[in-house]
Amino acid sequence: MELTDKMKEEFYEISEYIYQNPELGDKEYKSSQKLITFLKDHGFYVEKGIVNRETAFKAVFKSDKPGPVIAYLCEYDALPEIGHGCGHNMIGTMSMAAGVILSKFVSETGGEIMVLGTPAEETNGAKVAMAEQGVFEGIDAAMMVHPSGQSYESGESLAMDAIEFEYHGKTSHAAASPEKGINALDAVLMLFNGINALRQQVRQDVRMHGIIADGGVAANVIPDYARAQFYFRAKDRGYLNEIVEKVKGIAEGASRMTGAELKMNNYELSYDDMVTNHALSSAFTANLKFAGVDEVKQASKGLGSLDMGNVSHVVPAIHPYIGLDCPGLIGHTREMAQLTVSEQGKRALIQGIKALALTGYDVLTDRDLLERIKAEFYENSSGRVNG
């Protein structure tokens, strides 16, 4: 699209600015405001602080004609010390820019463009609250594209629960009066041993990994407090719920064996598995190739977790990947952060904007495509409910 090429220097500058000003989740004040200012300059009405998150926003551009509603999702949180090692500077810019580009055509096509600012994807993703609180009601398609070493179709991700286990015991001298203490650390160790035993009896897609966040202060004092944090993941939410119930039984057993009191809580929001809408994904893949990407690989097996998964359960959604011409690139690294503002990164940025905007245009103008997107979504939704 010629308009994207004409505006590319502005889009480079925005991505570079977010890269140079890395901010952690829910603290992305500069990054979100940078996107908001550009959206306002191009006629979007912007509501800040939605779903009780200071750096979340909803930007809307409506035409005078009825039509589908297209949502582009921006991410812009960085990683501690590494900065934008997951490329969220590109993600935020691509989604915002695609919304602006497509807004220039909705007076002809009809419909509505929505750009959503979604903070804290790395930790406590705002998309979860948005999905729960109805932000996606009335939206016909939700899209974003993530940088990676190579380009991939939208695929799967694992459902995830982040659970903290706290054990409260009783201090005592570990040598002189051990019988008078209740060892909270022993409870945590039993928790770990129980979870390790459970690994033999779960599906291969399950991932369980944790740390001891608190384990005592001195070797000669029986710890009266110990704390463990775990991530539990599985291919689908239903099976993950079964696993978590088993783990809670293990945690309660450790409490009974040691006498330590147990408290459990979710220390981060839970993510659902990603359900790609393949009709929408196929349209995006075709547009990505049209934008100049030579090869788009089939979706790889998803072993991470995304708050976009929660979105995909309430609205047709995709989460594809655009390549930075670096096969084998590892995410969450300084190398990836640097690539996002390299010449490869700039090229991918423009290709991603074009593919997102063109796919939005397709949904606005191709009634058959929209019907296929909706039919697939409702079929998958029925299967999840009945399953």
Task: Say if CB 283 and CB 369 are below 8 A apart.
Answer: yes
On whether both 192 and 207 belong to a single domain, the answer is yes
What does the pLDDT look like over 355-387, one tens digit per residue?
Answer: 999 999 999 999 999 999 999 999 988 655 433
The ranges of the chain with pLDDT < 50 are 385-387
Residues 6+ apart with CB under 8 A from 247: 163, 195, 198, 208, 230, 232
The residue segments making up the domain with residue 70 are 1-157+272-386
Sign (positive/negative) of CA torsion 147, 162, 241, 141? Answer: negative
* Beta-strand pair 57-62/45-48: antiparallel
Question: The CATH number of the domain where 365 resides is what?
Answer: 3.40.630.10
Q: Which H or E element spans position 352?
A: helix 343-365
| Rounded distance between C-alpha atoms, residue 119 and residue 31, angstroms | 10
Q: Classify burial at 9, counting beta carbons within 10 Å of its beta carbon; exposed 0-12, middle 13-18, buried 19 or more.
A: exposed
Cα–Cα dist 169/254, whole Å? 12
84's CB contacts (< 8 A; 6+ apart) are 18, 19, 22, 78, 90, 337, 340
Q: How many angstroms separate the CA atoms of 251 and 195, rounded?
A: 9
Q: Which of residues 249, 266, 283 is at a domain's end?
A: 266
Structure tokens at 13: 């500058």
pLDDT of amino acid 301: 75
State residue 387's pLDDT score: 39
- The pTM assigned to this predicted structure is 0.90
Based on the fold, state whether residues 110 and 235 are members of the same structural domain.
no
Q: How many domains does the chain have?
A: 2
Last residue of a domain, one of 232, 248, 266: 266
Task: State how far the Cα of 315 lies from the Cα of 294, in Å rounded to an integer.
Answer: 29
* Whether 337 contacts 305, CB under 8 Å: no
Same domain, 199 and 255: yes
Nearest to 360 by CA among 130, 94, 156: 94
Q: Is 74 helix (H, G, I), strand (E, B) or coil?
A: strand
Residues 2 and 123 in one domain: yes
Return the CATH number at 195: 3.30.70.360
Comparing CA positions, the residue from 126, 144, 25, 148 lying closest to residue 79 is: 25
Q: Is the domain of 188 the same as that of 102?
A: no
User: What's the confidence (pLDDT) of residue 352?
Assistant: 98
Residues 226 and 282 in one domain: no
Q: Based on the fold, state whether residues 255 and 278 are members of the same structural domain.
A: no
Domain boundary among 250, 266, 282: 266
Contact yes or no for 184/259 (Cβ under 8 A): no
Does residue 137 sit in the same domain as residue 90?
Answer: yes
Same domain, 377 and 350: yes
